[in-house]
């Protein structure tokens, strides 16, 4: 049984009030927004987590695709993989609690080998990261000698260790453009590979992209019909997608970019309606930040990300299970770090 703090009723009410102020415009599901009652139930957990976090000098990083109770209740920082990798690198905390999936927590550990890195959800996978091994990268490299190898950050430490540069959806186009030669190996997202090829052609710096066969099980479900239906149902709507979507879908959208890119796009736009072809968590972040705008979301939930919750976050802080403690083999971590450091260098 987990130890909760003995907090006064008034403190719980104050915390519920704070949470409701942040979550009142945020969808809990397709039919409901978060309610004050939800916030009242959440408050003892968020208060306990905040207290244990302080006592242990821990920092909580929550990916935007986790749930709003984590993002707004306890996270010190939330964002996409690149933003959180940067925060992990800059952190002076003794413990990093990474609410996300395994490859992200692994990345935080690679960057901070001396720190304790915990992941509430335990070994939460990712359809992309799980689609390829380091051995398979080696084979691809052997088939295409001399061709630079880029790996998406959504990959295992083992894959990163066998690549030249790691990239995120926010910097992939710029880094791909900087690579020498006319060919590039990009793993493990075959749909993003097509988007890179198209973007480099658009920039007049064409390259042939050699890809592997992975995809994100959330973003690869969007089809051109979804864009057409949104436009038919909501005249004037701006449709936004992630580059993990199929290229034919992306071609029909008004903006294609990373989660932070999508947030910037919405923020800068004077439009009032946006069709979001991405994960529900990002829609929630936009609803919280821009309550005056309307976000239409057809579907798309990452079940891996949603394995993180307040209870297992508290568990990780108090008595982490073995599968919540992130370890990376030293030689793999050393090689993987080179590809991550190269990304930080080239993304400047
Ligand atoms: S949204 Fe897609 S890429 Fe991101 S963690 Fe989930 S399965 Fe992996």
Residue 326 in this model has a pLDDT that exceeds 80: yes
pLDDT of res. 175: 97
Residue 346 within a domain? no
Residue 2, in any domain of the structure: no
In terms of domains, do 237 and 317 share one? no
Q: Please give the distance, rounded to the nearest whole angstrom, from the Cα atom of residue 4 to the centre of ligand 1.
A: 32
Range of the domain at 190: 129-216
Tens digits of residue pLDDT in 149-202? 999 999 999 999 999 999 999 899 999 999 999 999 999 999 999 999 999 999
Q: What separation in Å is there between the alpha carbon of 305 and the centre of ligand 1?
A: 7
Q: Please tell me whether residues 184 and 223 are part of one structural domain.
A: no
Considering the chain, what is the average pLDDT of its residues?
95
Report the C-alpha gap between 280 and 28 in whole angstroms. 10
- CATH number assigned to the domain comprising residue 100: 3.40.50.10800
pLDDT tens across 90-109, in order? Answer: 989 999 999 999 999 999 99
330 C-alpha to center of ligand 1: Å?
26
Report yes or no on 330 lying in a domain: no
Domain closes at, from 160, 194, 216: 216
- Are 85 and 151 within one domain? no
Q: Is the CB of 128 under 6 A from ligand 1?
A: yes
Residue nearest atom 5 of ligand 1, based on CA coordinates = 126
| Ligand 1 mean position, distance from CA 125 (Å) | 8
Paired strand residues for 210 = 185
Mean pLDDT of the 102-130 span:
95
pLDDT at 115 over 70: yes
Are residues 155 and 179 located together in one domain of the fold? Answer: yes
On whether both 167 and 118 belong to a single domain, the answer is no
Q: Give the relative orientation of helices 81-90 and 102-111 as an angle to the nearest 10 degrees.
A: 30
104 and 18 belong to one structural domain: yes
What is residue 2's predicted lDDT score, i.e. its pLDDT?
A: 61
CA distance 186 to 212: 7
On whether the CB atoms of residues 12 and 47 are closer than 8 A, the answer is: yes
Atom number of ligand 1 nearest to Cα 126: 8
pLDDT of residue 5: 65
Query: Which ligand 1 atom is nearest residue 104's CA?
Result: 5
Distance (Å, whole) CA 210 – CA 338: 22
Would you say residue 146 lies in a domain? yes
- Transcribe 288-316 into DSSP letters: HH-TTSEEE------TTGGG--HHHHHHH
Say whether pLDDT at 337 is over 80: yes
Same domain? 99 vs 18: yes
337 assigned to some structural domain: no
Average pLDDT over residues 103-131: 95
Look at the chain and report how many structural domains it folds into: 3
Same domain, 286 and 201: no
147 lines ligand 1 (CB under 6 A): no
Tell me, using a 6 A CB cutoff, whether residue 245 lines ligand 1: no
Ligand 1 within 6 A of CB of 154? yes
For residue 336, name the pLDDT band (cuts at 50, 70, 90): very high
Look at residue 135 and tell me if it is in a domain. yes
What would the pLDDT profile of 208-225 be if each residue is shown by its tens digit? 999 999 999 999 999 999
User: Both 64 and 146 in a single domain?
Assistant: no
Q: Output the residue whose Cα is nearest ligand 1's atom 8.
A: 126
pLDDT at 170: 87
Pocket probe mutation, ligand 1, options 191, 279, 302, max atoms within 8 Å of Cβ = 302
Q: What is the pLDDT of residue 3?
A: 63
Mutate to test the pocket of ligand 1, among 218, 276, 299 (most ligand atoms within 8 A of CB): 218
| Whether residue 232 is found in the same domain as residue 188 | no
181 Rama sector, left if φ>0, alpha if ψ -120 to 50, beta otherwise? left
Mean pLDDT, range 47-70, rounded to an integer: 96
217 C-beta closer than 6 A to ligand 1: yes
Residue 325's pLDDT is what? 98
* Alpha-carbon 313 to chain mean position: 17
pLDDT at 56: 95
Instruction: Specify if 117 maps to a domain.
Output: yes
Same domain flag for 26 and 117: yes
Return the ligand 1 atom nearest residue 216 CA.
2
Q: Which of 3-17, 53-67, 241-255, 279-293 has the lowest mean pLDDT?
A: 3-17
Q: What is the 147 CA–ligand 1 centroid distance (Å)?
A: 27
Instruction: Say what the pLDDT of residue 227 is.
Output: 98
What pLDDT was estimated at residue 311? 97
**Average pLDDT of the segment spanning 331-342:** 96
Is residue 331, in this structure, part of any structural domain at all?
Answer: no
pLDDT band per the 50, 70, 90 thresholds, residue 1: low
Q: Are 185 and 291 contained in the same domain? A: no
List, as one string, the DSSP characters of 188-238. Answer: SBHHHHHHHHHHHHHTT---EEEE-SB--TTGGG--HHHHHHHHHHSTT-E
């Amino acid at each position: 049984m987990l130890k909760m703090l003995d907090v006064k009723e008034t403190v719980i009410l104050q915390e519920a009030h704070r949470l409701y102020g942040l979550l009142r415009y945020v969808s809990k599901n397709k039919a409901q927004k978060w309610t004050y009652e939800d916030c009242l139930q959440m408050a003892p957990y968020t208060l306990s987590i905040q207290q244990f976090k302080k006592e242990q000098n821990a920092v909580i990083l929550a990916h935007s695709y986790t749930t709003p109770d984590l993002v707004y209740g306890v996270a010190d920082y939330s964002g996409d993989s690149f933003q959180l990798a940067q925060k992990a690198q800059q952190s002076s905390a003794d413990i990093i609690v990474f609410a996300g999936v395994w490859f992200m927590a692994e990345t935080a550990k690679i960057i901070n080998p001396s720190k304790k890195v915990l992941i509430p959800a335990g070994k939460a996978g990712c359809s992309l990261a799980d689609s390829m091994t380091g051995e398979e990268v080696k084979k691809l490299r052997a088939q295409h000698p001399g061709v630079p190898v880029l790996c998406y950050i959504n990959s295992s430490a083992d894959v990163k260790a066998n690549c030249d540069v790691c990239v995120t959806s926010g910097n992939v186009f710029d880094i791909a453009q900087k690579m020498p030669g006319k060919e590039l190996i990009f793993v493990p997202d075959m749909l993003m590979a097509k988007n890179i090829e198209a973007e480099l052609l658009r920039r007049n710096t064409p390259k042939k992209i050699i890809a592997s066969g992975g995809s994100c099980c959330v973003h690869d479900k969007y089809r051109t019909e979804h864009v057409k239906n949104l436009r038919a149902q909501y005249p004037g709507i701006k449709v936004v997608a992630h580059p993990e979507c199929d290229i034919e879908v992306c071609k029909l959208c008004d903006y294609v970019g990373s989660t932070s890119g999508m947030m910037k796009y919405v923020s800068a736009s004077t439009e009032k309606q946006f069709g979001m072809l991405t994960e529900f968590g990002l829609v929630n972040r936009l609803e919280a930040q821009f309550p005056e705008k309307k976000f239409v979301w057809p579907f798309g939930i990452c079940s891996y990300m949603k394995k993180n919750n307040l209870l297992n976050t508290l568990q990780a802080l108090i008595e982490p299970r073995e599968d919540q403690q992130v370890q990376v083999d030293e030689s793999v971590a050393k090689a993987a770090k080179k590809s991550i450091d190269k990304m930080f260098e080239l993304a400047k």
